Each structure stands twice: as structure tokens, then as C-alpha cells.
Structure 1
Amino acid sequence: MDRHDVSSDVTAEHVAQLHQEDLKIEEQFDCKGMTYWFDAERKTAFCLIKAPNKEAVCKMHDFAHGVLPHKIIEVDETIVESFLGRIEDPKKTSDTEINIIDDPAFRCIMYLELSHNSMERQNNYQYSLFSEKIHQSIIKTFKKYEGRVVQSDNESYLASFKSISNAISCAFNLQHKLKFVIPKFEKSFKKVKIGLSAGLPVEEKAGLFEDTVNLSKTICQLINSPITITNDVRVYYEKRHTNDFLKNELVQSLNLSEEAFIKNFTDCLEKIWNDPNFQIQNFAKLLGYSQSQFYRKVKSLTGKSPVQFLSDYKLDKSIEFIHHKKGNISEIAFDCGFNSPSYFSKCFFKKYHILPSQYQLTC
């Protein structure tokens, strides 16, 4: 898939004509133009092309009309369809010689995570029953608001929405509905968290919607709020609606500085989280904050102190490592940044009320 950032005077008809020029000579370059998307508001166009390599795409465009793409990424057509809803030209929408497609590729991406207590769900038949009931309720709600499920594992869901308004309404509906689907006595499920971000399929990173997906997932997992939305989502929504929903206690809307902090924080976290010699006070220096500023930032966004957040992050990683059988307990302890297996076991027991060696036996 390639991305073209076009000038303000380019119309959907112009892009349709360029697409036709590609189709006339595509075979010469062993290419096949499958379809495209054009966004008149953001002045972007995206072409989906079967080609042997990126060079063939550039040569075809250059020979056909001379308009070269600004960026090209490799994509899986199944994933493209999951995000965007089609991998071929839609039927003609008007009685014209060419098929003019004025169809934006801009999407609102939702990441939903069911926060549960892993200690309470082992070999639990009741858990399986509730899990399936919750899954069906989530899928039904996505369909109601025209959301497309890209990935799911019954504990987390990634969905794509063409309409930001629909995505926000869906998030509220899910939070409301799942309160009644999950019984109060079912302690294994603690809460439902949702992150909403919006963007284009080809951005800075190499994957399809990769920047947007990463941000929606990060804010869902990191921020201490049932529903967290990015600044772009809020701005877009407020252009078309009142902002009453922002006053709702379920929603936290991030500003641009908070988003920048979260991106830098998570980038740094990925580099240092399993370094046993890393001192938490150095975290603030790496990000350019004083100790007090860093503490307030992390506490306000995550609900935890930096020390507690890093400790919980390591322990959550250890759960993943145990489930995926990435070594024995001692190896996992060191891989997750603990100085000794005994200290790891002490921290693990304090949080989960079971020793990691005992928990490993249940997996």
C-alpha cells in the first residue's frame, strides 16, 4: 500500500483518472492496482497494489502519470480488509465514465482489554461460560456501531471504525452493557478498559495503522481510566457534537503534551524495564523531567507511583513469560529485571498471593 499526500486542488475525480492511467499500463510492471482510497478532507490517497516489490510500484506510477508515492509499506490483504472493509473498487456511485471513489482511509481504532485476575481463572468452567457470554456481547455491540474486528482473543479486542462518533458511542455502550453481563460476584473480571485513537493506514512506522494501533493499545493499558481518547479523537468529535461526554467520569481525554509524554515514557520503558541495575530516578532524567514532575505525571496518568508502576509492569511481564513457558522461575526472574529469584518470588507473592513456582504448575 502506498500513500500520496496531494495538493489542496486535487479532487476525487483527479485521483480516479490517475488510477485509470495506472490500470492501463500495470501489466508492463507486473503490477495489479486492486483499489484506492481518497480523503478529500485530509488530502491523502492510498493505493493497494499487488507488486513484486516497491520499486515496481514507483516505476508504474512514474510511467503512468509521474505522481510518485510518499511512502510504501507491505501489507496483508486480509488485514487491509479487516481495517478498511474492502480490497477492491466499490461499485460505481454515479453515472460517470470512470469510477470516482471518494472514500477516506482514516479510521478510529479501538483497543479493548478485559482486566482480570489470572490467579482466579485457572481450570474454571464458570470462567469459560462467562468469557463466552462477554465475547458474544462485545461482538454484537461492535456490529451495532459498524465496527470491524481486526483481532481478538476473548481478553482483548482490536476494532476499526469509519466513524469516530460510532466508536465513542460503542465505547459507552460497551462499558454500560458489560456492567450487567459481568456479575458482581465474578471476581476474576475487574474492569473493562478502552483506548481510542485515530489515524491513517500508512504513517511513520512500517505496519498498517501501526502508529494508531500502538497508541490505542498503550493508552488503554497505561491510563487509569475506563475510556481514554486521544486529542485527535476529542477534537474531531467536538466539531460534530457537544462535548458533554467529556464531562463523563468514564472518559479521560489526553492533550498533546500528555500524548507526547506517554510515547516517550513507553519508548523508554521498553528499553529499561528488565534492567536490574536501572534506578527509577534516572527515568526522569532520560525524559527531561525533575523527580517531582515525573512523579506527578506518572501518578496522574496511571494512578501509580513510578516505582509501583515499574514493579507491576515487571510482574505482569513475568505472568506472560510463565504462560508462554519462557524458562524456569529463576530464568524468568532475571529476564524480568529482578536481582534474585527469591526477591522475585517475594514480590510475586505479595501481588498475587501465590508463589510463582506454584502458579507455574497451574499453567
Structure 2
Amino acid sequence: MPIFMDIHENLGDATEQDIKSAHQRDLAIQDQHGVQFLTFWFNSPNGQAFCLVDAPTKEAAIAVHKESHGLVPHDMVEVERPTVSRFMGDWEKNAPDIARHDDSELDTGLRAIMFTDLVGSTQISSRDGDVRALEVLGRHDQIVRGALSSHGGREVKHTGDGIFASFSYVSTAVDCAVQIQRAFGEPVHADSGDPRVRIGISAGEPVSQHEDLFGAVVNLASRICGHANPGQILVSGAVRELSVGKPIVFQDRGPIALKGFDDPIRLFEVPIDHRA
């Protein structure tokens, strides 16, 4: 059977216990509909909950919600188990109960998405040959994967000239990006010939507006990365907002028009020496 992730919004003053109680009512009747609720995430500050469910159809999963407690999801997307794990981490460890981080803190379901892009790989291949280009890309992959391992990041996909990754905490995504840039050295001009990496980070919820899992967040992170200069880390406003209280410096780079977004997006740069 396919699996789906849904989003319940406008939950108001609902507590963790309220959401767990609703989930238990789902579990009590799920077999009648051939459905299995796997786990769920609760974002109390935003009044949102996200359910992961194994069901023959969306309609079957929605029918359980309607019958058990009446909290019909605002949206639902079909997902694949490996993809969910790459974005969300080891969600099965808490199944079928509420999702929590390793430190038992409630997992809100929000994730930071990071893209890296190795700048000038085509020029390196033309100038120095394919073997050298592969060596440079291999060094990039080694640096990025080492940083991901150090900061709890999960590689979602290799993009050819970069890596697309997910983090459970925004601050660790920023720290990871800084470690990567420090490993490559100080920023230089794009035409210098030296391999450099640009990085974009956004953050947000897993389901929105009928898109793929984290569709809008992924698209934004990719566009931000494409706008960054070699050696630069650019992040969205959500990353800055979710880092309140963390000793991270954000330098306002103003609203930027990005392809695929109707309104300009305010971006912030994180300097390599980013600690306040």
C-alpha cells in the first residue's frame, strides 16, 4: 500500500495530550478501513499536526479521521518510506506514538533543508580534464558528508554538483554549512579557478499546497543556493526566525526576486565566523 502524510492546521490551543488522544481514536478503528497510522508530529506553536499513514487511498485515511474525531486534514501527499526517512530521520523508533527527537523532546516536524553547489565544475573539467573534475567533486562529497555526519544531517539526494540534505534542527544546519565553507577556505571570485561551494538553507513544514514532501521548502533552498556567491551561505527568513536565541550572526541581504516565487524573498547571509 502507498503511504501518505497529511497536515492538520488551525488546531488552536490543542495540547500534546489532545492530539495523542485523537491519534488513539484513529488507531482504534483503523483496521475497519484497512489503514495503519504509523506516527505523527505535533507543532504546538503553529497549531499543526502531521500524520504518517499507510492506506490504500487518501480517502480511506480521511475516512478514519472523520469517523474517529472529525479532524479532517487540510492536505495530504503521497510519499515513499525511504524519502520520509531521509527527511524526517528514524521516525519508526516512536511508532505508532508521537514523534520525538533522540533527547525525547517533541519533534514538531519542521526541517531545515540545505543545498550545496560546487561552483565551476564544468570549467574545471574543460581546463583540467574529467579526472581532475571528479577529484574535486569527490573532495566536495567527502567534506559535505563528513559535516553532515558531525551535525546530524541526512543526505536526501546527490544533485550531480552538490548535495541536498535535511536537518531536524535549524541551528545544526547552519553550523554544518559553516564547517563546509571553512573546509573549502575563504570566499573567492567565481572566475578564480579554485573550487568553491555555495550553500542555501531554508526551513519549513513537510506538507503544504498539494506539493511533494517539503516541496516548497526544497524549492526555496535550491533557489537560495543558486543565488549565493561562491563561498557564501545564504538562508531564508524562516531560518533566522527559528534561530532566535542561538548565538548566530545573520546579515540582512534584503528582499531578492527568486524564480518560481511571486514575491521577493528576504535573504540573510551567515558569515563563516558566524557566532555572535
**TM-score interval for Structure 1 and Structure 2 normalised by the shorter chain:** 0.7 to 0.9
Deviations 1:37-76 (A, max 9, x none): 1112222110011112111111111111111111111111
Aligned to 1:206: 211
Distance 1:130 1:229 in 2: 25
1:113 CA drift (Å): 0.6
Instruction: Determine the C-alpha separation between the residues in 1 that align with 2:57 and 2:48.
Output: 22
Give me the whole-angstrom Cα distance separating, in 1, the residues matched to 2:194 and 2:66: 55
> What is the CA–CA distance in structure 1 between the aligned matches of 2:222 and 2:260, rounded to whole Å?
14
Aligned to 2:108: 104
Residue 100 of structure 1, CA deviation: 5.0
Larger Rg: 1
More strand by share: 2
Match of 2:33 among 25, 29, 32: 29
Separation (CA, whole Å) in 1 of partners of 2:149 and 2:112: 15
- State the match for 1:83 in structure 2: 87
Indicate the SS of the match to 1:73: strand
> Partner letter of residue 43 of structure 1?
G
Asked whether the equivalents of residues 48 and 87 of structure 1 are also in contact (C-alpha less than 8 Å), the reply is no
C-alpha distance in 1, partners of 2:74/2:178? 37
The corresponding residue for 2:260 is: 267
Distance 1:155 1:100 in 2: 37
| Counterpart residue number, 1:168 | 174
The gaps in structure 1 that reach 5 residues or longer are 92-97, 181-186, 248-252, 269-286, 289-296, 302-363
The residue identity in structure 1 corresponding to 2:59 is E
Structure-1 residue corresponding to 2:223: 218
From 66, 70, 73, the counterpart of 1:69: 73
**CA shift in 2, pair 1:202/1:230, >3 Å:** same
Tell me which protein shows more helix as a share of its residues.
1
Rounded to whole Å, the distance in 1 between the matches of 2:8 and 2:253 is 29
CA contact (8 A) 1:37 1:46 kept: yes
* Cα distance in 1, alignment partners of residues 253 and 26 from structure 2: 42
Residue 89 of structure 1 deviates from its aligned partner by 5.2
Q: CA RMSD in A?
A: 2.9
Aligned-pair identity (%): 29
Q: CA deviation at 1:6?
A: 4.1
Contact 1:113–1:193 (CA under 8 A) maintained in structure 2: yes
Give the distance between the partners of 1:71 and 1:112, measured in 2 at CA. Answer: 30
Query: How far, CA to CA, are the matches of 1:177 and 1:154 in structure 2?
Result: 20
CA–CA distance in structure 1, aligned partners of residues 6 and 218 of structure 2: 18
Corresponding residue for 2:274? none
Conserved 8 A contact 2:184-2:196? no
- Deviation of 1:170 (Å): 1.0
Distance (whole Å) between structure 2 residues aligned to residue 100 and residue 134 of structure 1 = 37
Aligned to 2:48: 44
Give the paired residue count: 250
Are residues 1:11 and 2:4 paired? no
1:131 alignment counterpart: 137
Q: Is the 8 A contact 1:106 1:200 kept in 2?
A: yes
Kindly report which structure 2 residues correspond to 1:130-149, keeping only aligned pairs within 5 A, or say none: 130-149=136-155
Q: Distance in 2 between matches of 1:55 and 1:99?
A: 22
In 2, distance between residues paired with 1:217 and 1:235?
Answer: 19
Q: Deviations over 1:114-146 (max 9, x none)?
A: 112414316532332332233112101111111
Q: Matched residue of 2:209: which SS?
A: coil
Write the letter of the residue equivalent to 2:32: Q
Give 3-state SS (helix, strand or coil) of 2:239's partner. Answer: helix
Counterpart of 1:197 in structure 2 is: 202
Q: Distance in 2 between matches of 1:190 and 1:132?
A: 12
CA distance in structure 1 between the partners assigned to 2:43 and 2:201 by the alignment: 21
The residue number in structure 2 matching 1:235 is: 241
* Conserved 8 A contact 1:202-1:209: yes
CA distance in 2, matches of 1:240, 1:120: 41
Distance 1:193 1:125 in 2: 22
In the other structure, the counterpart of 1:354 is: none
The whole-number CA distance in structure 2 between the counterparts of 1:141 and 1:49 is: 32
Q: 1:131 to 1:117 in 2, by over 3 A?
A: closer
Distance 1:126 1:111, change over 3 A: same
Structure 2 length normalisation: TM-score? 0.81
Q: d(CA) in 1 for partners of 2:185 and 2:253?
A: 25
